[in-house]
Structure 1
Amino acid sequence: MILGHEASGVVDAVGADVTHLRPGDRVCMEPGIPDFRSVETLRGMYHLDPAVRFWATPPIHGCLTPTVVHPASLTYRLPDSVSFAEGAMVEPLAIGVHAAAKANIRPGDIAVVTGAGTIGMMVVHAALAGGCAEVIVSDVAAEKLALIDRLPEVTTVDARSQDLAKVVAERTDGRGADLFLEASGSSKPHETMIDLVCPGGRIVLVGMPAAPVGLDVVALQAKEIALTGTFRYANVWDRALKLLGSGRIDLKPLISGAFDFADSVAAFRRAAEHRPDDVKLQISL
C-alpha cells in the first residue's frame, strides 16, 4: 500500500472546468475526498461523510507518488511566502485550527493543552493565533516541551515532575482555565480535566484514547462546561494557509529532517526510532 497523506506539489494539468488553478501553481491538497452529494457534505460537514476516501487509509492509497489526481476543490494554492515543506504541514495544522474553531476562543482566554506531540503543538499554535493570551502545555517528553516553550505565550508543565493542577491554579488565580484541549490520546487527562476548567469553560477532545473513558457528568453539569469532540477538520484549510502566509504561525522549527525519495527507507527507519526531539520528517520527490 502507498503511504502518505500530507503533501504539497506543483499542478501538472487541470480539467476543462477548473478556473482557480493552472499548471505551475504551487499547491497543497486536503487528503479526504467525500461524496460531494452526501447529506454530511451538503451540510458543510464533509469530513464526517461515511463514504470519505482518505489518503493512506486502507484501502485508499496515499500520495507518496510522483503524481496524484485530486479534486480541484480540495487543492489550495500556497502563498508565495510558504515553502513546499511548510505546505506539507498544513494537514496537521488544520486539525489544530479546527479544534480552535470548535473551542469558541475569546480574546484573552487561558487554555490548557495536554499533549505536546505534533497535533498538540498544532493546537497550541492555533489557540494562540485564535486569541488565547496564554497556553499551558503538559506532556511527559521534555524534548517536545522544549520545542513549544520557544513561544513566549506558552507555559510548559513536565507531567513527570510537576503538578498540572497546581500550575493552572497559579496561572489563573485559582479560577481555572477557560479552555481545555486534550491532544495526547491518553485517558489520564480525562480524569482531571473538569477540575482544571473554570465555570462556563469549554473542553475540546482532539486526541483519541485507545479504550472508553469515564466522565463525571454531574461535575460537568454543575460547572456548565461545554464539551465537544473533533474529527480531523472541515472548512479550515484556507484559514490555516493564511496563518502560515502571514507569518502568524511558524512551523519551520517543527520540521526535523528531510529526505530524498531515494532515501525513503532511511526516512522510515528514522521515524521508527521515535527520537524524542523529532516532530515531522519529510520526503521529497
Structure 2
Amino acid sequence: MKSLVLERQHELSLRDFPIEREEEHLGPRDLRIKLHTVGICGSDVHYYTHGRIGPFVVTAPMILGHEASGTVIEIGSEVATLKVGDRVCMEPGIPDPNSKATRLGMYNVDPAVRFWATPPIHGILRPTCVHPEAFTFKLPDNVGFAEAAMVEPLAVGVHAATKARIRPGDIAVVLGAGPIGLVTALSALAAGCARVYVADLATKKLEIAESLAPAIVGIDAGKQSIAERVKADTDGWGCDVVFEATGSPKAAARVFEPLAPGGCVVMIGGQPDPISYDAGAAMIREARVENIFRYAHVFPRCVAMLASGTIDVKPLITRTFSFADSVEAFDIAASAPAVDVKMQIELPQ
C-alpha cells in the first residue's frame, strides 16, 4: 500500500510499501481501520532529520506517523465494543500483556511495547492498519477526525497533569509553547490550575498560548526572567508546579527557580544526553520530581474532555496537508515555522 516511508536520514518517499503479512493479519480481537487524519509529531520529524532518538535508530525503511484517527472497516470475530463504521482514535503503543510492567498497570514503560513509528515498528501514514480493540476508542459524534488525531499528544499533557497531582487553585509554569507544552497547559487548567504561565522564545507561539484561555499567561523567556515574573505575581512564593516541555538542557537546568517550597517538577521533554540537575535547589524546596514516558490509561479521559468542551484542541491545528503532499509537509515541519503548532495530514477517503 502507498505509504510515507523514511528511507534513511534526510530521505522521505511516498511509495508502495510491502507490509508484512503478520502485521496485516486480523486477529479475533483486532480491527482493520481506514486512516483519516494523522498528525506530524516532533519525534517523526526528529527521525527524519537525525535518523535516531536515543537508542532507537532507523536502520531500515520505516513508515512514519503515530497520531491518528480513522474508521473501522473490519472487525475480528471476538470484538465486542466496536463495529464497522465506527469513527475511532488509536493509542499507538501495544504492550506485552504478560509483562510485569503491564500487570502492574505501567504498560507504557513495558520494555517490549510496540509503538508506531519507533524503529523497527512501522507507523500509520498509510491507507489502513490493524490494531487491537483494547487500544482503540470510539469517537463521540461531536469530535471530528482532526481533533481525534490530537488525542495522542493531548494524552501526554493529561498524563503529566495527573503525575503533578494538581489541586484546585494551583499555579503552574509550562516551559515550552510547542504542541506538547500547549496541551499540557490546557490539561493543567482542566485539572484545576487557577493560572498557567507558558514560557517560550517564540512570540507567535506565546500569542497562540494566550489565545487558548484567559488563565494562560505568556512569558517571553528571552526578554524576561521566568522566576522573577512568577515570584512577582505570587508575593515571592513561586508556582506549585513546573512542567519542562522543551527538551532543552538549558531550560531543564533551571526548572527549580520559579518553584515554590513543596512544589513539583514534571519532566516531559526528552533529553538526548544527561543534563545538569541542581540538587541543592531541589533540596531546599523539598521539591518532588516526576518523570513521564508517553502516557497510560488516559485516552478515554482525553476523548471525554474533547466531547464535553473541557479542552478545545482545534486552535492548535494550524495547517493540514493532503497525503500526496506528505513529503512537503515534513520538510515544512522540519523548518519549525514559528506560526505553526500542529500540522496534520489527511489521507484519501
TM norm. shorter chain > 0.5: yes
The 8 Å contact of residues 228 and 258 in structure 2, kept in 1 or not, is answered as: no
Secondary structure of 1:93's counterpart equals helix
Deviations 1:82-104 (A, max 9, x none): 10000001000000000000000
Secondary structure of 1:233's counterpart equals coil
Q: What's the offset of the Cα at 1:133? A: 0.4
Deviations 1:128-185 (A, max 9, x none): 0000000011101111111011120011110111111111112211101011110011
Moved more, 204-213 or 54-63: 204-213
Q: How many Å separate the matches in 1 of 2:321 and 2:281?
A: 49
Identity %: 54
Letter in 2 for 1:66: P
Question: Are 1:71 and 2:71 counterparts?
Answer: no
The 8 Å contact of residues 158 and 298 in structure 2, kept in 1 or not, is answered as: yes
**Of 164, 185, 205, which aligns to 1:144?**
205
Question: Are 1:260 and 2:322 counterparts?
Answer: yes
Moved more, 135-144 or 220-229: 220-229
Question: Are 1:178 and 2:240 counterparts?
Answer: yes
Question: Match for residue 11 of structure 1?
Answer: 72
Change (3 A) 1:241 1:140: same
Secondary structure of 1:12's counterpart equals strand
Which residues of 2 match residues 1-285 of structure 1 at below 5 A? 1-150=62-211, 151-285=213-347
Q: How many Å separate the matches in 1 of 2:255 and 2:64?
A: 35
Q: How many Å separate the matches in 1 of 2:261 and 2:197?
A: 18
Secondary structure of 2:252's counterpart equals helix
Q: What's the offset of the Cα at 1:16? A: 1.4
Return the structure number with greater strand share.
2
Q: How many Å separate the matches in 1 of 2:97 and 2:118?
A: 19
The alignment covers a number of residue pairs equal to: 285
Q: How many Å separate the matches in 1 of 2:268 and 2:131?
A: 27
Q: What's the offset of the Cα at 1:190? A: 2.9
RMSD: 1.1
Q: What's the offset of the Cα at 1:188? A: 1.8
Secondary structure of 1:195's counterpart equals coil
Q: How many Å separate the matches in 1 of 2:289 and 2:327?
A: 42
Q: How many Å separate the matches in 1 of 2:290 and 2:319?
A: 34
Show structure 1 runs of 5+ residues with no match: none
